[in-house]
Amino acid sequence: MFRRSGVRALLAAAAVLVLGAVLAACGSSNDNNSSSTSGGGSSGGGKIALLLPETKTARYESQDRPLFQAKVKELCSSCQIIYSNADQDASKQQQQAEAAITNGAKVLVLDPVDSASAAAIVTKAAQQKIPVISYDRLITGAKVDYYISFDNVQVGKLQATSLVNKLKSDGKGSGTIFMINGAPTDNNAKLFKQGAHSVLDSSGLKIGKEYDTPDWSPDKAQTEAQQAITALGKNGFVGVYAANDGTAGGAIAAMKGAGIDPSTKPTTGQDAELAAIQRILAGQQFMTVYKAIKPEAEDAATLAVALVQGKSAPGGMVNGQTDNGAGKVPSILLKPVAVTAQNVKDTIVKDGFWKPSQICTSAYASACKKYGVQ
Residue with more model confidence, 105 or 3? 105
Mean pLDDT for the stretch of residues 105-118: 97
Statement: residue 162 has pLDDT above 50: yes
142/157 same-domain check:
no
Statement: residue 144 has pLDDT above 50: yes
Q: What is the CATH number of the domain that holds 192?
A: 3.40.50.2300
Query: For the chain, how many structural domains are there in total?
Result: 2
209/346 same-domain check:
yes
Q: Which of 190, 215, 188 is nearest to 333 (CA)?
A: 188
Q: How far apart, in whole angstroms, are the C-alpha atoms of residue 364 and residue 279?
A: 9
Rounded percentage of the chain residues whose pLDDT exceeds 70: 88
Q: Which of 199, 165, 150 is nearest to 179 (CA)?
A: 199
Q: How far apart, in whole angstroms, are the C-alpha atoms of residue 250 and residue 83?
A: 29
Strands 328-334 and 320-323: antiparallel
- Domain extent, residue 61, equals 29-150+293-333
211/313 same-domain check:
no
For residue 353, tell me if it sits in a domain.
Answer: yes
For residue 113, tell me if it sits in a domain.
Answer: yes
246/359 same-domain check:
yes
191/326 same-domain check:
no
Give the lowest-confidence range in 48-62, 151-165, 261-275.
Answer: 48-62
Q: Where are the beta strands (DSSP E) in the chain?
A: 33-37, 47-52, 80-85, 105-110, 132-135, 146-150, 176-181, 206-212, 239-242, 288-290, 320-323, 328-334, 337-339
For residue 2, tell me if it sits in a domain.
Answer: no
Q: How far apart, in whole angstroms, are the C-alpha atoms of residue 21 and residue 316?
A: 40
Where does the pLDDT of residue 333 fall: very low under 50, low under 70, confident under 90, or very high at 90 and above? very high
Give the lowest-confidence range in 53-62, 175-184, 209-218, 232-241.
Answer: 53-62
pLDDT at residue 39 in the model: 42
Mean pLDDT for the stretch of residues 20-35: 42
- Could you report the per-residue pLDDT of 259-272, keeping only the tens digit for each? 999 999 999 999 99
79/186 same-domain check:
no
59/79 same-domain check:
yes
161/263 same-domain check:
yes
For residue 12, tell me if it sits in a domain.
Answer: no
Q: How far apart, in whole angstroms, are the C-alpha atoms of residue 159 and residue 252?
A: 16
For residue 176, tell me if it sits in a domain.
Answer: yes
Statement: residue 197 has pLDDT above 50: yes
Where does the pLDDT of residue 22 fall: very low under 50, low under 70, confident under 90, or very high at 90 and above? very low
Instruction: Please tell me whether residue 38 adopts helix, strand or coil conformation.
Output: coil
43/172 same-domain check:
no
